[in-house]
Chain A
C-alpha cells in the first residue's frame, strides 16, 4: 500500500490503540492534520496552548494507564511542550509527543520556526527520534510506544520533518518491536527475593514505603496482599497515593516533607524499610544521613540506576514491582501485628492530621470533597499548599486516582491533567484541586473543557497568595512576603461564565457542602468553584528542606 509518511503516522497511532490526541497545529503539521480530518477512530482535542496538550496527555496516561499522545508544530509549538514533557519525565509517565519539523533540507539552517527539539528534550525524554526518512515512520512509532510504556515508563518524542510527512512509502504495519539495545529486566533475581523474604521474617519493626512504581506496574493487589498477610504498615509517596488504600487500617498515609507525623516516625524508627517503586527523593528523605538510620533497606525497582543512587541498599531487587511482589509472596509467611504495630498506631492516634475550627479552611473543603464524592473521585492538583492539603486529606482508595506533578512540581499541571483524565475516564468524577496561582498558569484550557463538554470540577483554594512560597517566607524568611501577593486576580466566577462554564464563589464554611453537591449535578460543563480560604493557613506537619525528623513542625511555631 502506497501512502504518505503522515498517513503512516496516523495509521500507526491507530494501530497502537490511540483514541485521543491533544494537539495544536501549525504549518509543518498540515500533512498530518490533513490525515486526522479523515480519521474517524482518533479524536483530536484542540488545546489552546501546547503545554496544555502535554499535561492533558500526561493526565490521560496517569488516569488510564494508557500512553497519552500530544501534537505540536515546530519551533514555538515544540518548545511550548517542554514543561509538560519534563513533568512526565520526572514522574515516569508514558506519553508520546509528536512535533512537526522543518524540511530535512532546511534543518540546521535556522529556518523559520526551526528548533532543535530533539536536542532540547534529550535530557527530559526517555528517548527521542528525529525521523529522517518517510519509510522509517511505522517502525519509529512502534518503537516510541514500546519504549514509552515498558520498563520504567516515560515520555518519548518523535520529530517529523515536513518532507518526511509528505514522502510516499510502501506501508507495511509493524507487528513486532525488537530493540536489541533495550531489554528491560522485569523479573527479580530469585536469590535476592529469597533474601528479602528472610529479612522480612526476621525484622521487628518493618515498614513498607511505596511509590509511583507500584501504580505504573499495577502492583497494588500484590501490595495489599503483602501488607495484609504480614501486617506490615504502608506509607506512600505523593506519586504512590492510592497504590495502597489510604482508608485501610494499615495505611500511614504519605511520608516526607509534608507527610504524616506517624509515617515519618515509623520510618525514622523502623529496622527494615521495604521500598517498592520509589526513589528516595529528597522531599521524602530530608537530610539523607538521618533518614531511616536504623533500617536495613530492601529496594525493589525496575530501574537499576535508582538502586543505590542516594541511599545504601542491603537487598536490591531489579524488576517489575508486580512480578517481584508475586514472587516474594511465595516466600513470605503470615505475621501477626506486633508491639511495633501498636507503637505506630499510638503515634497515629497521638499525632493525627489536624486543622483549626475557624473560618473557611482548605482542609475542610478537601474533606468535604472526599465526603460528597465518597472518596471515589479522580483528583488532579496544581502545585503548592493546596497540593499538599489534597495529598493529606483526600484519602485515595485506588491507584490512578491522584494525579499530581511530584518530581518537577509544575504549577499549572492540575487543570489540563484533569481534562485529560476526564477524557480518558468519562464516567468518573474528576476534581481538580487547584491553587489560584496554579490555575492561572493554564486556565486558557477552560474553553477546551467547555467546547468538548469535559465536565471537570475545579476547586480553587483561593488564598490570594502563592501560598507555599509565602509559607516558606513566613517560616524561614522573616515574613517578608516578596512577590507572592496575588490578590490582584480575575473574578473567577465571571471568568467561568465568560467562557461558558459554571462559576461559584464560596466564602463561608456553611456554603461548602451545598456548593460541592451542586457541582456534581453538571455533567456536560466544567464547574469552577472559587473557595475564598483563610489567607495565611499553613501546611503542617512540615520537615524543612534538607532537615531531619527532629526538626518537624507539627503546628505554627509561636
Chain B
C-alpha cells in the first residue's frame, strides 16, 4: 500500500538527514521524496510517499513527529488531494518517428522542451499513472534517460494542513 504524507519541517541543515535516517533505521520504505521551501522560508515541506500497512504508517507519522525539527505531519489518507509529479524523458527520436512521438506528447498534454538530431526531451506533469503511461508508450522508441521529481500533493479546496 502506498501512502502520501506531508511533513512541515524547520528549514535547517541536517533535517533531511534526520528524516532519511529515521526511515532507514526503522526499516520504513521511501518510495519517493520531494523537498522544497514553502511560503514561509523558515519552513520546508517534505512530501513523502511510503509503502506499508496502517500500523506501519502510524509508526512513521509518530516517529516523524518525534523529531524536534518536524513541525507537523499529515497523512493524506482519506483526504481529497491533488497530486502531481513532473518527469523529464529523453527519448530517441530519429527522423522517421518524430511525428509519432509528437502525437503522443500532444495526447498527454506534455511538451517537447529540447531537441537534438537524435533525441527529444519531453516534459510531462501529472499523476503518477499518467507519467507511467507516457513512459511506457515512449519506451518502444528507446528511452535514454528519465528524471522524475517525486510526488507533490496538496489538499483540495481552501484547507491547508
Q: Do A and B bind each other?
A: yes
Please report A residues at the B interface, Cβ cutoff 8 Å.
118-119, 122-123, 126-127, 130, 147, 179-182, 303-305, 308-309
- Chain A residues with Cβ below 8 Å from B99 are none
Is B25 at the interface (CB under 8 A from chain A)?
yes
B50-80 contact mask (Cβ, 8 Å, vs A): 1 or 0: 0000010011001101111111100000000
In the assembled complex, the CB of A341 is this many whole angstroms from the nearest CB of chain B, namely 35
Most buried by A among B14, B21, B55, B66: B66
Q: Is the CB of A130 within 8 A of B14?
A: yes
Q: Is the CB of A118 within 8 A of B14?
A: yes
Q: Is the CB of B62 within 8 A of A123?
A: no
Q: List 12 A-B contacts (CB under 8 A).
A: A122-B17, A122-B18, A123-B21, A130-B13, A147-B68, A180-B71, A181-B9, A181-B69, A181-B72, A305-B62, A305-B66, A308-B58
Please report B residues at the A interface, Cβ cutoff 8 Å.
9-10, 13-14, 17-18, 21, 25, 55, 58-59, 62-63, 65-72
Q: Is the CB of A181 within 8 A of B55?
A: no
Q: How far is the CA of A122 from the CA of B25 in the complex (A)?
A: 11
- Picked from B9, B25, B55, B66, the residue with its CB within 8 Å of the CB of A123 is B25
Q: Is the CB of B62 within 8 A of A127?
A: no
- Chain B residues with Cβ below 8 Å from A130 are 13-14
Q: Is the CB of A309 within 8 A of B59?
A: yes
In the assembled complex, the CB of B81 is this many whole angstroms from the nearest CB of chain A, namely 23
Q: Is the CB of A305 within 8 A of B63?
A: yes
- Given A119-B17, A305-B59, 18 extra CB contacts under 8 A: A122-B17, A122-B18, A122-B21, A123-B21, A123-B25, A130-B14, A147-B68, A179-B68, A180-B71, A181-B68, A181-B70, A182-B68, A304-B62, A304-B65, A305-B65, A305-B66, A308-B55, A309-B59
Q: How far is the CA of A319 from the CA of B66 in the complex (A)?
A: 14
- Chain B residues with Cβ below 8 Å from A179 are 68
Q: How far is the CA of A181 from the CA of B7 in the complex (A)?
A: 11
Q: Is the CB of A126 within 8 A of B59?
A: no
Q: Is the CB of B62 within 8 A of A181?
A: no
Q: How far is the CA of A147 from the CA of B72 in the complex (A)?
A: 18
In the assembled complex, the CB of A405 is this many whole angstroms from the nearest CB of chain B, namely 20
Q: How far is the CA of A295 from the CA of B69 in the complex (A)?
A: 37
- Chain B residues with Cβ below 8 Å from A122 are 14, 17-18, 21
- Chain A residues with Cβ below 8 Å from B68 are 126-127, 147, 179, 181-182
Q: How far is the CA of A119 from the CA of B25 in the complex (A)?
A: 13
- Chain A residues with Cβ below 8 Å from B10 are 181
Most buried by A among B55, B62, B69: B62
- Chain B residues with Cβ below 8 Å from A118 are 14
- Chain B residues with Cβ below 8 Å from A123 are 21, 25
Most buried by B among A182, A305, A309: A305
- Chain A residues with Cβ below 8 Å from B13 are 130
Q: Is the CB of B17 within 8 A of A181?
A: no
- Chain B residues with Cβ below 8 Å from A304 are 62, 65
Q: How far is the CA of A7 from the CA of B72 in the complex (A)?
A: 35
- Chain B residues with Cβ below 8 Å from A126 are 68
- Chain A residues with Cβ below 8 Å from B67 are 127
- Chain A residues with Cβ below 8 Å from B55 are 308
Most buried by A among B9, B25, B63, B68: B68
Q: How far is the CA of A304 from the CA of B18 in the complex (A)?
A: 19
In the assembled complex, the CB of A375 is this many whole angstroms from the nearest CB of chain B, namely 37
Chain B residue with minimal CB distance to A304? B62
Chain A residue with minimal CB distance to B55? A308
Q: How far is the CA of A182 from the CA of B58 in the complex (A)?
A: 19
Q: Is the CB of B71 within 8 A of A181?
A: yes
Q: How far is the CA of A126 from the CA of B59 in the complex (A)?
A: 17
- Chain A residues with Cβ below 8 Å from B18 are 122
- Chain B residues with Cβ below 8 Å from A147 are 68
Chain A residue with minimal CB distance to B66? A305
In the assembled complex, the CB of B66 is this many whole angstroms from the nearest CB of chain A, namely 6
Q: How far is the CA of A303 from the CA of B62 in the complex (A)?
A: 9
In the assembled complex, the CB of B131 is this many whole angstroms from the nearest CB of chain A, namely 33
Q: How far is the CA of A304 from the CA of B25 in the complex (A)?
A: 19
In the assembled complex, the CB of A307 is this many whole angstroms from the nearest CB of chain B, namely 8
Q: How far is the CA of A181 from the CA of B62 in the complex (A)?
A: 14
- Chain A residues with Cβ below 8 Å from B17 are 119, 122
Chain B residue with minimal CB distance to A119? B17
- Chain A residues with Cβ below 8 Å from B14 are 118, 122, 130
- Chain A residues with Cβ below 8 Å from B21 are 122-123
Q: How far is the CA of A309 from the CA of B55 in the complex (A)?
A: 8
In the assembled complex, the CB of B127 is this many whole angstroms from the nearest CB of chain A, namely 31
Q: How far is the CA of A305 from the CA of B67 in the complex (A)?
A: 11
